[in-house]
Amino acid sequence: MEKTLIRLAGIYTVCIGIIVFIAMFFGVLISGNLTKNPPLLEAVIVYLLFLVLWPAVTGLGIIFKKNWARYSIFVMAVFAIFIGISSAVALIFIPQSVYETQTKAASYIPEFFISVANFIFFICIPIFFMIFFNKNKVKAIFGVTKPQITNKKRPLGITLLAIVTFFTAFISAIFIFMPIYPKSPLIGGVFLSGIGEKIYFLAVTVINLYISIGFLRLRKNAWITYMAFYIVSIVIGIVNTFTASRMTFFEIVPSIQGSYAEVPNILSKFSGVVGLILPTFLLMYVVSKKRLFFVNR
């Protein structure tokens, strides 16, 4: 039974990559704004190719029972759940005026099916994957021996955090060379652009890469760096939650207008709250594992 579910999970994940590729291909073709802005088009293609290759390669790894793919699908599940929750909040709080081009009766039907699909594909299935691929029987199929399962020195949560911080470093590195927006918000209405923006993303890249490698090796300095960096991030999140407004996003993306003008304002408040809650829980988790980093080696 487990082997069959593993194959299905691998095929499903590969299909996600194929679907994203098809959506990317037709989306770029029909988007006039992107084709008129070559740098933005190139940046979008790079990001979307990452979203194509990641699930496709992970799915193949799952099919061939590679243990690295098991970790990759954990991280993918976390991202999917975050997207699912964000989408649910958007569907609930975005005003009906966004759908003003549709009739009132017709607008609720797509919303209902979108909500159901979002709940199934971005919340239920990722949660199932996180539980299923952490079962001892499934670990054994992927080559994790019993001693590794029961006496593992580095907890799964720390490994996942290392992978997440590595992907954060990767995305930040892309922003250095291919920024999507002309300026990026820092704190309290302060924006970075040009060389200042590049230096900022370079620093974020180096710090997250250092944390990622240090977490894999359970290094004390990596634990201290993580705590300092994300405490600062929480402080910035608190300030931005109370200072961000629609005008903040108009400065980042001037093209947002019309009935969609409320969307970024709503999502900014939600992302601000998530930006406070999620790092706080992660900090509490990392604090609980402090002894692993400070043990004499």
Please check whether residue 163 lies inside any domain of the structure.
Answer: no
Q: Kindly state whether residues 174 and 280 are assigned to the same domain.
A: yes
Q: Kindly state whether residues 121 and 202 are assigned to the same domain.
A: no
pLDDT for res 47: 65
pLDDT for res 29: 59
- Give Cα separations from 112 to 107, 116, 123 (angstroms): 9, 6, 16
pLDDT for res 98: 47
How many structural domains does the chain have? 2
pLDDT for res 221: 93
Q: Kindly state whether residues 145 and 200 are assigned to the same domain.
A: no
Rounded to whole angstroms, the Cα distance separating 215 from 226 reads: 9
Q: Kindly state whether residues 23 and 130 are assigned to the same domain.
A: yes
Domain of residue 172 covers 168-297
pLDDT per residue of the chain (297 residues) written in tens, 0 to 9: 889 999 999 999 999 989 888 877 776 655 555 555 555 556 566 666 777 888 999 999 999 999 889 988 988 887 788 777 767 666 655 544 444 444 444 444 456 677 788 788 888 899 899 889 988 889 899 988 654 444 457 888 898 899 889 988 988 888 888 766 666 666 656 667 778 778 888 999 999 999 999 999 899 999 999 999 888 887 777 776 666 555 555 555 554 444 444 445 555 555 555 556 677 778 888 988 888 888 755
Please check whether residue 18 lies inside any domain of the structure.
Answer: yes
Handedness of CA 193, 162, 268, 228 (dihedral sign): negative
Domain-ending residue, one of 92, 123, 152:
152
Please check whether residue 24 lies inside any domain of the structure.
Answer: yes
Q: What is the pTM of this model?
A: 0.60
pLDDT for res 157: 86
Rounded to whole angstroms, the Cα distance separating 264 from 5 reads: 39
Q: Quick one: which H or E segment has residue 186? A: strand 184-187
* Beta carbons of 9 and 62 less than 8 angstroms apart: yes
pLDDT for res 84: 77
pLDDT for res 257: 47
Q: Kindly state whether residues 126 and 41 are assigned to the same domain.
A: yes
Q: Kindly state whether residues 46 and 180 are assigned to the same domain.
A: no
pLDDT for res 30: 59
Please check whether residue 157 lies inside any domain of the structure.
Answer: no
Domain-ending residue, one of 152, 178, 206:
152
Q: Kindly state whether residues 216 and 131 are assigned to the same domain.
A: no
pLDDT for res 5: 93
Q: Kindly state whether residues 173 and 270 are assigned to the same domain.
A: yes
Q: Kindly state whether residues 146 and 1 are assigned to the same domain.
A: yes
Q: Kindly state whether residues 147 and 55 are assigned to the same domain.
A: yes
Domain-ending residue, one of 152, 183, 218:
152
Please check whether residue 161 lies inside any domain of the structure.
Answer: no
- Burial state string for 101-116 with b = 16 or more CB within 10 A and e = fewer than 16: eeeeeeeeeebeeeee
Q: Kindly state whether residues 192 and 78 are assigned to the same domain.
A: no
Please check whether residue 282 lies inside any domain of the structure.
Answer: yes
Q: Kindly state whether residues 8 and 144 are assigned to the same domain.
A: yes
* Beta carbons of 252 and 185 less than 8 angstroms apart: yes
Please check whether residue 238 lies inside any domain of the structure.
Answer: yes
Please check whether residue 159 lies inside any domain of the structure.
Answer: no
